[in-house]
Amino acid sequence: MSRQVWGEGYRMKRFWLPVFLAVLLPAEVFATAVDVADGIKKVEPEIKAYVKKRAAREGGAPYISALVRGDINGDAKEDVFVAYAVEGIGGGNFSLLFQALFLNDGKRLVFRAERPNGSFGTAQGKSYIPRKIEKGRVICETDEYGPDDGVCCPSIKGEGEILFRDGKLIEVESVGRGKRARSDPTDPPAAR
């Protein structure tokens, strides 16, 4: 008799435990896919695993928005620079933006560096959108929020670069189109 009661209780626990966990845990814990922007044909498993892990740590859903390939460290192997977002943090529209570099060791891609790339949902800051890897640099377009911009629409467009130096990703100051460049103290006075 007690064995039969234990068996029924055990079956009930097997039913309710997943239901209980599904209600309490965020949906991102159960997510298995990494969303990828249209036009990106191939994303290696190492990249997907890294982005998915970062998204779970931040409490959001992973989305790869841009990916460029080229030799950034001069070893004649194709490295990968990826821009991604962790979306829906806290259940809303807020997203954190990141960029990561994966170097090719000849057998696989190995994560080497990451940098924050702003956020979406705050109407402030600047983000770098990678376009290509050229001569050891990631060539980017930039989007920056002006003082009167809404959350959806950064209005200041520019160009910039990201370098990989001493194990870090470093942004090179950019000048927005339509924005006056800083004067160079070596320019003649008429040019300033």
Q: Are 170 and 163 in contact (CB under 8 A)?
A: yes
Q: Does 173 lie in the same domain as 94?
A: yes
For residue 113, give the nearest of 94, 100, 97, 95 by alpha carbon: 100
73 versus 22: the higher-pLDDT residue is: 73
Q: Does 43 lie in the same domain as 22?
A: no
> What tokens does 57 get?
């740590």
149 versus 98: the higher-pLDDT residue is: 98
Q: For residue range 165-176, what is the model confidence (pLDDT) as tens digits?
A: 999 999 987 555
Q: Are 141 and 159 in contact (CB under 8 A)?
A: yes
Residue 187 in domain: no
Residue 191 in domain: no
Percent of the chain whose predicted confidence (pLDDT) is above 90 = 49
> What tokens does 120 get?
């979406």
Residue 8, domain extent: 1-30
**H helix runs in 36-183, sequence order:** 45-58
DSSP letter string, 74-108: SSSS-EEEEEEEEE-GGGSS-EEEEEEEEEE-SSS
Count of structural domains, the chain = 2
Q: Does 8 lie in the same domain as 99?
A: no
Q: pLDDT value at position 191? A: 41
Q: Does 26 lie in the same domain as 40?
A: no
Q: Does 166 lie in the same domain as 76?
A: yes
Q: Are 171 and 162 in contact (CB under 8 A)?
A: yes
What is the average pLDDT across 63-73? 96
At a CB cut-off of 8 Å and minimum separation 6, what does 140 contact? 128, 129, 130, 131, 159, 160, 161, 162, 174
Q: For residue range 76-129, what is the model confidence (pLDDT) as tens digits?
A: 999 999 999 999 887 777 889 999 999 999 999 999 999 999 877 777 778 899
Partners of residue 66 on adjacent β-strands: 83
Q: For residue range 13-44, what is the model confidence (pLDDT) as tens digits?
A: 554 444 444 445 554 444 558 889 888 989 99
Q: pLDDT value at position 150? A: 84
Q: Does 143 lie in the same domain as 120?
A: yes
Q: Does 100 lie in the same domain as 10?
A: no
Phi, psi of 134 (to 5 degrees): -145, 130
> Whole-angstrom Cα distance, residue 2 to residue 110?
55
> Whole-angstrom Cα distance, residue 49 to residue 44?
9
